[in-house]
Amino acid sequence: MTKIIGVTPRLLTEDGVVKQFVNKTYVDAMIKCGFNVIMLTLNNPNPTEVFKLCDGFIVTGGSDIDPRNYGEENNGKSKDIEHDLDTLDKLVIEYAAKSKKPMLGICRGIQSINVFMGGTLYQHIGTTHREIKYDHEVHTIKNRLLDFEENIIVNSYHHQAVKDVAPNFQAIAWHKDGTIEAIIHDELPIIALQWHPEKIFGDKVSQLIFKKFTELVNNK
């Protein structure tokens, strides 16, 4: 059977109607990896029954997380908070960790994984990491999951970032200003990235990431 990846949604309000959606780039990336894809919708009465259908998960990019989830008050810099999204991300992350199913966090996804596994965020790091399509240099270290070159070029679309890394995770990549760009779990099949590899799927770095995620899912 073709394995299934559950992808978290994001919200859009048009003409007073709230819509749940997944950007096509995430779906296309997973289809190219040979997977079926389902969107994990908000407020299901028994979300675990849906999660059980999935062989792996992607926690996607999106709006800011409520700082109360990591023990802080909003300093005015955390914007467009959607509590239902925070709740779903938390449920997905906790389920993936408990079931040991592979999980890939992208942009907000790294922030959600870090927060809901016990870490914290910088609520605002300025604008130096925003709207960079492909000129963002990141330094990496050797690790158990991703065989990156020492320096890689990626994109960047965020204004919040990992502060205190969650227990049992390690940072494996940093921007030159010290911003954490990637973390992995010490034992579980969890990879989380601050950039968007699905936007540059054919890139060498993105191919490495999605190849490893595919291996993790297929070997589960």
Residue 127 has pLDDT above 90, yes or no: no
pLDDT classification of 128: cutoffs 50, 70, 90 = confident
- Write phi, then psi, for 204 (nearest 5 degrees): -60, -45
What mean pLDDT comes out for the span 103-131? 95
Sequence-distant (6+) residues with CB within 8 A of 187 are 168
Does the pLDDT value for residue 220 go beyond 90? no
Q: Please determine, for residue 145, whether its predicted confidence score (pLDDT) is greater than 90.
A: yes
Q: Is the pLDDT assigned to residue 130 strictly greater than 90?
A: no
Please, which pLDDT band fits residue 104 given cuts at 50, 70 and 90? very high
Whose CA is closest to 42, among 82, 15, 93? 82
- What's the average model confidence in pLDDT over 117-129? 93
By the 8 A CB rule, do 45 and 84 touch?
A: no
Q: Which two tokens stand for residue 191?
A: 């990879």
Residue 120 has what pLDDT?
Answer: 98
